[in-house]
Amino acid sequence: MSSTTTTPAASGPGASAPGPSRGVSLTGGALLTYLLVIAFDGLALWGILRMIEIESWLPLAITVVGTLAVNVVYLSRRRIPGKYLLPTLIVLTVFAVIPVVYNVYVSFTNYGTGNLISKEQALSTLEAQTLPASDNAARYRVDAVRDGDDFLLLYTDEATGEVFVGTEDGLEPADPDALETDGSRITAYQGEPTLNLAEKQDNQDALLAIVVPTEDGFLQLQGFNQATEVVSRYQYDSGSDTLTDLQTGVVYRPVEGTFTAEDGSTVQPGWITPIGFDNYVDLFTEPRIRDPFVRAFIWTFVLAGSSVLLTFALGLLLALVFQSERMRLRGTYRVLLIIPYALPTFMTILVWRGMMNESFGILNEILPWQIPWLNDPNWARFSLILVNLWLGYSYMFLVSTGALTSIPTDLKEAAFVDGATGLAAFRKVTLPLLLVAMAPVLISSFAFNFNNYNLVALLTDGGPPIPGSIAGETDILITYTYSVAFEGAGQNYGLATAISTIIFILVAGISAISFRFTRTFEEIN
């Protein structure tokens, strides 16, 4: 007979500790993460359902992908870098990538005055246009009752006295047993009392939204108590994709988002539709668009380039002057020099505009000449450069001062020992080292002035105007784009986004080339 012995668990100082528990402990940080993800998922689910309801498929796809990415990254214990990178990527996508992509998409459409809605909305608007009611058109007395959260309209034929219920399919005979009358009018239907005039007025939007089709048209409310059968002026044939004017018999066919007849006449509204490269072609071939565009294009480069060069030159000169330790009150002078940078830009520009007023400005009162600062094209351009120099030199002075202090003095002293003059030491030593540090600032300054809308809009408003054009003599590309999009006889958002796309490509290309030269220069240096 065998016996079984049980060895007790080791204990004492030399005994090994029990293994770690395999259960998952939920820390406070992890719990907060899960709660935030749940809240994010709930908000995303609400947005997804709403997008499905309005059939907004592209935002739906982006939301679904973003939600899945958030769950995969933040519910995992491994993807630590993603937890820091994902919020930045989401913000970059929402506020940078999507606007750029949408801007490019719009530039290939006819989006603008007369073409602001979808084709379905345009057809609904056209089919809602009616012909005048004829003398023998059917007329009805209208009563309304509640149907849950909606309403039912009861139509009483004034000729026959028959009562109908209006539905989206047409008129249907009302159940006589459900009608309650006082002998002259309907008082209730299916137990629901009819609305009085005040109740109808309180719910007029819901009542007017009820459309009841008839054989030849639909019933249109005349006030709250009467309705008349009217006939739609336009009839759409989905098979041939044509629109027929029932009053004139003219047939319209869709041409680039607008129903157009054979004689070239159109009906409005149109709808948004892709038109390929037409906006870009018009930009370079249509004289009324091309000429002001080319003028603004050239002036934009002149303004941006001259502003960068002049502000940098003046700022660097002042930085060199006040770098000398022998100069007293350097701190006070430096504070005074940064005042233009400290003041709000829009306020400074408006002050300059008042000073440059040809009739009442202080500049013309001081100077012995009457200078048309803002009324003559050349003087207006000079005024923009002058004001921009005043606004920008302080910033270049600050940056140049900091960059100069970072240049080792040993290099300049070695140059002097080798016999270099002050100008030669500056040209051979100080300036190359300074440009390495200042290159990103100069590039960003050029990009800023390339799109300096506030300066032009507040000082000259693009003027003086060019006769027969929506553009002005001092318009740069961004202000010309604004004029195309929002000013003039009609707004052309498609063309405006085409111009803004070109601006984006130009600025991105110039910046990339500039950074490439900067890197090459730094390696040589």
185 shares a domain with 39: no
Q: What is the mean pLDDT of residues 109-113?
A: 93
Q: What percent of the chain has pLDDT over 70?
A: 90
Q: Of 488, 455, 486, 452, which Cα lies nearest the Cα of 470?
A: 488
Q: Which CATH number goes with the domain that contains 102?
A: 1.20.58
253 shares a domain with 288: no
Three-class secondary structure of residue 146 per DSSP: strand
Could you give the maximum distance between any two Cα atoms of the chain, in Å?
131
* Residue 304, pLDDT score: 95
359 shares a domain with 462: yes
* Residue 84, pLDDT score: 86
504 shares a domain with 447: yes
Q: Does residue 277 belong to any structural domain of this protein?
A: no
Q: Does residue 5 belong to any structural domain of this protein?
A: no
* Residue 489, pLDDT score: 66
**Taking 50 as the threshold, does the pLDDT of residue 389 lie above it?**
yes
340 shares a domain with 207: no
Q: Of 31, 34, 101, 105, which Cα lies nearest the Cα of 71?
A: 34
In tens, the pLDDT along 118-140 reads: 999 999 888 888 877 666 777 88
Q: How much is the mean pLDDT over the chain?
A: 86
| 87: preceding bond cis by omega (within 30 degrees) | no
Domain with 77 in it: 28-107
* Residue 25, pLDDT score: 52
CA-CA distance, 279 to 288, in Å (whole number)?
13
In tens, the pLDDT along 158-174 reads: 888 889 998 878 889 99
CA-CA distance, 64 to 41, in Å (whole number)?
10
CA-CA distance, 449 to 307, in Å (whole number)?
7
Q: What are phi and psi of 234, to 5 degrees?
A: -110, 140
494 shares a domain with 403: yes
215 shares a domain with 239: no
Q: Does residue 434 belong to any structural domain of this protein?
A: yes
Quote the number of domains for the chain.
4
Q: Of 168, 149, 164, which Cα lies nearest the Cα of 210?
A: 168
CA-CA distance, 183 to 412, in Å (whole number)?
110
* Residue 20, pLDDT score: 46
List the single range of 21-35, 98-112, 176-190, 362-376 with lowest mean pLDDT.
Answer: 21-35
**Taking 50 as the threshold, does the pLDDT of residue 7 lie above it?**
no
Q: Which of 26-35, 151-160, 236-245 has the highest mean pLDDT?
A: 236-245
298 shares a domain with 262: no
From its phi and psi, is residue 64 left (phi > 0), alpha (psi between -120 and 50) or beta?
A: alpha
**Taking 70 as the threshold, does the pLDDT of residue 220 lie above it?**
yes
Answer whether 308's CB lies under 8 Å from 445's CB: yes
390 shares a domain with 247: no
Q: Does residue 313 belong to any structural domain of this protein?
A: yes
* Residue 521, pLDDT score: 54
CA-CA distance, 145 to 154, in Å (whole number)?
8
List the single range of 259-273, 395-409, 413-427 with lowest mean pLDDT.
Answer: 413-427
**Taking 90 as the threshold, does the pLDDT of residue 49 lie above it?**
yes
Answer whether 394's CB lies under 8 Å from 341's CB: yes
In tens, the pLDDT along 250-285 reads: 999 999 999 999 999 999 999 999 999 999 999 999
**Taking 80 as the threshold, does the pLDDT of residue 335 lie above it?**
yes
Last residue within a domain, chosen from 40, 73, 107: 107
The three-point CA angle 26-29-32 to 5° equals: 95
| 344: preceding bond cis by omega (within 30 degrees) | no
The sheet with strand 251-255 has its strands ordered as 234-237, 242-245, 251-255, 258-260, 266-267
Q: What is the mean pLDDT of residues 96-117?
A: 92
Q: Which of 204-213, 353-362, 432-441 has the highest mean pLDDT?
A: 353-362
Q: Of 425 and 489, which is predicted with more confidence?
A: 425
From its phi and psi, is residue 492 left (phi > 0), alpha (psi between -120 and 50) or beta?
A: beta
Distance set, CA 504 to CA 53, 83, 89, 492, 500 (Å): 35, 31, 21, 19, 6
Q: What are phi and psi of 81, to 5 degrees?
A: -60, -35
Q: Does residue 493 belong to any structural domain of this protein?
A: yes
Name the residue type at position 158: E
HSE value, Cβ hemisphere, 13 Å, CA-based, for 516: 6
Non-local (6+) Cβ contacts of 364 within 8 A are 357, 358, 370, 371, 373
143 shares a domain with 102: no
Q: Does residue 17 belong to any structural domain of this protein?
A: no
Q: Does residue 255 belong to any structural domain of this protein?
A: yes
Count of beta carbons in the 10 Å neighbourhood of residue 418? 10
HSE value, Cβ hemisphere, 13 Å, CA-based, for 278: 12
184 shares a domain with 47: no
Q: Of 222, 221, 290, which Cα lies nearest the Cα of 469?
A: 290
Q: Which CATH number goes with the domain that contains 464?
A: 1.10.3720.10
Q: What is the mean pLDDT of residues 61-88?
A: 88
Q: What are phi and psi of 368, to 5 degrees?
A: -80, 0
Three-class secondary structure of residue 335 per DSSP: helix
Q: Does residue 18 belong to any structural domain of this protein?
A: no
385 shares a domain with 515: yes
**Taking 50 as the threshold, does the pLDDT of residue 17 lie above it?**
no
CA-CA distance, 354 to 339, in Å (whole number)?
19
Long-range contact list for 37-46, CB < 8 A, 24+ apart? 37/70, 37/71, 37/74, 37/75, 40/67, 40/70, 41/67, 41/70, 41/71
Q: Of 452 and 440, which is predicted with more confidence?
A: 452
CA-CA distance, 517 to 511, in Å (whole number)?
10
CA-CA distance, 458 to 73, in Å (whole number)?
47
Helix (H) or strand (E) holding 484: helix 477-486
E strand residue ranges, 233-334: 234-237, 242-245, 251-255, 258-260, 266-267
